[in-house]
Amino acid sequence: MDERFKLDNQLCFRLYTASRLITQAYHPLLNEHGLTYPQYLVLLVLWEKDEQPVNDIAKRLLLETNTVTPLLKRMEAEGIVTRSQGKKDARQTIVKLTKKGRDLQNKLTNVPETVGCAVLCESITPETIPGLFGMLDDIINQLQR
């Protein structure tokens, strides 16, 4: 058999599996607050800087606007964010956290550490994580070209 086609030799499979399993680790932590992992990512963006155009949120998450819009509509229906027309540009939709959305940050304070601890192992330690981030950023940047 051609070694190039063995599943164990595929970087993409390892990245996919790691991503899927990390997302699964988030599930019970977020589910108790009625959140999905993509909604949590939106919250992270808005907790860094509230009141952002949909386009900026999509860019930050490396997603298309048409992927983020339905997600934001659900979050609005759940009372987590509001969406309004931009003051400077009426074509823009501005997303803003509600009190419920802001309060979720305090309710989810354990999430980053809990998931972070779940991935620690022999080769991934608090000291090696910055290097791992760098390698993953390099992969992301290379694939975006």
The CA–CA distances, whole Å, from 20 to 13, 26, 27, 87, 88 equal 10, 10, 11, 39, 40
Q: Is 98 helix (H, G, I), strand (E, B) or coil?
A: coil
| First-to-last C-alpha distance (Å) of the chain | 32
The domain 38-109 having CATH identifier 1.10.10.10: the answer here is yes
Six-digit token string for 80: 């987590």
Q: Give the H or E element holding residue 99.
A: helix 99-107
pLDDT digits (tens, 9 = 90+) for 83-125: 999 888 778 999 999 999 999 999 999 999 999 999 999 999 9
In this prediction the pTM is 0.92
Spell out the domain ranges in the chain. 1-32+115-145, 38-109
pLDDT at 66: 96
Q: Alpha carbon 81 to chain centroid distance?
A: 16
Residue 97 φ/ψ, nearest 5 degrees: -70, 145
pLDDT digits (tens, 9 = 90+) for 64-73: 999 999 999 9
Q: In angstroms, rounded to a whole number, what is the distance separating the alpha carbons of residues 11 and 139?
A: 11
Q: In angstroms, rounded to a whole number, what is the distance separating the alpha carbons of residues 37 and 29?
A: 10
**Contact of 91 with 84, CB cutoff 8 Å:** no
